[in-house]
Amino acid sequence: MKRLVVIPARYGSSRLPGKPLVLLKGRPLIQYAYEIAKRSSADRVIIATDDHRVLEVALNLGAEAVLTSRDHPSGTDRVAEVVKEMDVRYVVNLQCDEPLLPPHYIDLLFSALEEKGVDMATLVSPLEPEELTDPNVVKVVMDREGFALYFSRAPIPFSRDKKGVRRGLYWRHVGIYGYKKEALLWLTALPPSPLEEEERLEQLRALENGMRILLIPCEHKSPSVDTEEDLKKLEAFLT
């Protein structure tokens, strides 16, 4: 098997408890993620959860689903548990945060991973001015080759001369990741890093340990879902 999507679905989210089963327009967020993944070019889609309630809903959707350890510090570690013994080349970690993500962006990640020298990739979209100071919107800055320099909940870059949020310089992270399997297993064998724990951003473990993360710009604009307020914004967006 070449292409696999794993959807890590932890029930005990601190900012939005029970997030995989939270309803958006009458459907649980886990259903949105599953249907997005099934419309991509993935050879297989697996939902990985730590809770029997999420497992039951996933199985009722007709999805392939597995129970994983409750002790994983991040969704990436949960994905690694699933793929460790599998014969797979490329893995995409799709969470429930982006219920309106177009499936072809998953395919862009798979294509990027086929390039030499790309072990990990993720998506970014242009940052809106009102998102700059929102800690629930993760910001990222990139180098000239399109690789990540740093991710933060803080406003980055900081405009000393107050030039505003300039397109092509300010980016918002879209929380979906692609990995070569070997890179994923290497990364998750490492302990959580200091910056990762400080910002509560799992991708910083990769940067702190020297892994390069390719950033793929996209025009995906719908709100991500991390809090109850985000859910209300998304419902308004759909209306």
Residue-wise pLDDT for 109-124, tens only, equals 999 999 989 999 999 9
Domain count, the chain: 1
| pLDDT of res. 212 | 96
| pLDDT of res. 208 | 97
16 vs 179 pLDDT, higher one: 179
pLDDT higher than threshold 80 for residue 188: yes
What is the chain's mean pLDDT, rounded?
A: 94
Q: Is the dihedral of CA 143, 149, 152, 154 positive or negative?
A: negative
How do residues 18-63 score in pLDDT, each as one tens digit?
A: 999 999 999 999 999 999 999 999 999 999 999 999 999 999 999 9
Domain that holds residue 16: 3-238
Q: For the whole model, what pTM was predicted? A: 0.93
| pLDDT of res. 226 | 84
Q: Single out the residue of 224, 239, 229 nearest to residue 29, CA to CA.
A: 224
Q: CATH no. for residue 163?
A: 3.90.550.10
